[in-house]
Amino acid sequence: MSLHAGVSHAVRHRPDATALIVQGRRVTFAELWSQVGGIAAGLLDRFGEPPPRIAVMSGPRLLGFAGALACSVLGAAWVPINPAHPRDRVAAILRSAEPGAVVCEQEDVPLLEAAARAAGVEERVPFLVSPPSGSSVPEESPGEGFAYIFFTSGSTGSPKGVPITRANLQAFLDWVGARYRLSPEDVVAQFSDLSFDLSILSTFGAWAGGAAVAVLDRRDMVLAPERTLGRAGCSAWVSVPSLARLLSARRGLRPGAFPGLRLSLFCGEALPRDVVEEWQTAAPDSVIENLYGPTEATVACFAYSWDGGTSPSRCANDVVPIGHPMPGTLAAIVDPEHGRPADSGELLLGGTQCFAGYWRDARRTAASLVRLGDSAKVYYRTGDLVRRDADGCLHFVGRADRQIKVNGHRVELGDIEAAMNALPGVRATAALGWPVVGLTAEGVAAFVVSEECEPATLRSRLRDALPAYMMPSRVQVLPELPLTANGKTDYRALITLLEGARG
C-alpha cells in the first residue's frame, strides 16, 4: 500500500467526504486530490519525468499533506522538511538528500534560498512555489522503491537520513488496518509535524481506512482539551506520551473528558503508568495502546494493549511495557557486552518493516546492521535496552548510548555537543537530558567551557544550528568540565550539579 492509496480509493467512492480538518477548514477528498494533481502537474511540467526525490517544506498544512501524496503518486521519495527548523539544519538535509525539487509555500522561500546557498545547491534544486490546484492526478509511477526519507538527529552533528521502502510502508499500513480497523466513521487527531514519522500513523494510516484527519493545535488542546477534541469529533487519538503528561499536569484529564474516543495510541517515548491510568478515566470507552518502534523500523513495530485490571502490576519502573512484535517483525535481545542472546539487553530488529541502511552513509550502516551467528538475516541495533518477562512481553529499560527522546523526537546529545563545539570561543561542551521523568527527558541541559560567551549568547547562536526541540533549556558556563579517572567527561558529576541547583 502506498501513501496515497487510501485517498485515491476515497476519491473514487466518497469524494465529498471530509479528508482533512486543517487551519479551521474542512477539506474533502476531492479537494485534497485536486491539490495533489496541481503539485504533480507542476512537477511534470517542469521536469517531464519526476525526480527520484522530492522535498516538501511545509508544516501540517494542506500543501504539506498534498505534497507528500503527490510524491507518492509520482513514484518519488518524499523528503519532508520542517519550515520551523533553522537554516543550517535545512541546508544539511538539502545537501544530503539532493532532492530534484522542493515544493514549498511563498512564505518559506527566503529560508529555502538561504539554506540552498549554505548547502551549495542553489543552482541544482529548483523550487515549486504554491502550485495551484485543479489538475487531474496522473497515473501512478513505479518509482525507485523508497516511499520517504526522514532525517533524524545524528551523533556527529549532521542529521542522518532513514530511507523507508514502499514494501516497508505497506507492511506497516497493512498492520495498522488489520489491528485498528479505522473507517470512514472515524476522525483521527493529528498533532505531529510532517517531518516526524508518527505522522505516518496519524495521517496516512487514517486515510488508508478512509478516516478523516483533524490537525489540532497543541496549545488549543492544552488550554481547552474537551472543547478542542469535541469540536473536531475525534474518535481516535495518536500522540507522544509527553502531550498526555502535559494535559495531566494542566489538569486537563478530567474524568469523562473525552467520551467520544474509542482508540488512543501513544508512541515515540516511554509511557508512564500514572498517565495511562489518568487517561483511562478521561476516555473510559477507549482502547489504549502503547506502540514502540524506531524510525528505522517504519514508525512502530511493537504494541501493548492496556488492561486496567492487570496492566498496572506488569509495569516495570512505573513504565508501560512495549509488548510484543508485530507480524513480520523479527526481534532479538543480546547482551551488549558479548553479543550473545539474552533475556535482558539490547533490542535488535529485523523483518518486513526494517530499513536496509542509512542514506548514503556506509559507516553508520555498517555500525548499525548486524547478523546474528551464522544467520543470513540482518538486524538493526536499536540501542534500546529491554527486558523480556516470563510471558514474553518486552519492557523498555533505557538506552545503551547517549540518545534521548524529547517530546517523542530522537535527540543525539552528541549532535548538540557538536553544534556547541562549533561556536567561536567554546573549548569544551557536554549535554544531558534534563530533567528526567521516568525514562523520558523533558529537555536538555548544556555545559560549556568558555571565557568569551555568556549563556544567553550561546543560546542565541545555537538557534541557527538546532531545531527548537533540541535547544538546551539551560546552559551553564564552567571553568572546566569534570573528568573521570580515565579522562572522559564525568556526566554523573554534571548530574549532581543539576540536582544540587534544583535543591
pLDDT in tens, 28-78: 999 999 999 999 999 999 988 899 999 999 999 999 999 999 999 999 999
Report CA dihedral (91, 93, 99, 103) to the nearest 10 degrees: -70
Q: What is the pLDDT of residue 140?
A: 75
* Per-residue CA distances from 280 to 181, 290, 333, 335 (Å): 21, 13, 31, 36
d(CA 97, CA 292): 27
Select from 492, 419, 408 the least CA-distant residue to 152.
408
Could you give the percent of the chain with pLDDT greater than 70?
Answer: 98
Q: What is the pLDDT of residue 230?
A: 95
User: Is the distance from CB of 425 to CB of 397 less than 8 angstroms?
Assistant: no
| 3-class state of residue 245 by DSSP | helix
**Domain 403-502 = CATH 3.40.50.300:** no
Average pLDDT of the residues of the chain: 93
d(CA 352, CA 328): 5
d(CA 215, CA 163): 25
d(CA 45, CA 363): 38
d(CA 130, CA 134): 13
Q: What is the pLDDT of residue 400?
A: 85
Q: What is the pLDDT of residue 455?
A: 87
* Per-residue CA distances from 313 to 91, 109, 153, 310, 317 (Å): 48, 53, 35, 6, 11
* Per-residue CA distances from 285 to 49, 124, 216 (Å): 50, 53, 21
Residue 46 neighbours by CB distance under 10 Å = 14
Q: What is the pLDDT of residue 143?
A: 59
Report CA dihedral (137, 143, 146, 147) to the nearest 10 degrees: 10
Cell numbers that stand for 405 in this block: 527522546
Domain ranges of the chain: 328-381, 403-502
Q: What is the pLDDT of residue 12?
A: 96
User: Is the distance from CB of 296 to CB of 317 less than 8 angstroms?
Assistant: no
Mean pLDDT by 10 residues, the chain (503 residues): 91 97 96 96 91 95 97 96 95 97 96 96 92 82 83 81 97 97 98 95 98 96 95 97 92 96 96 95 98 98 97 93 97 87 95 97 96 88 95 93 86 88 88 85 91 85 90 91 78 88 66
Q: What is the pLDDT of residue 407?
A: 84
Q: What is the pLDDT of residue 156?
A: 65
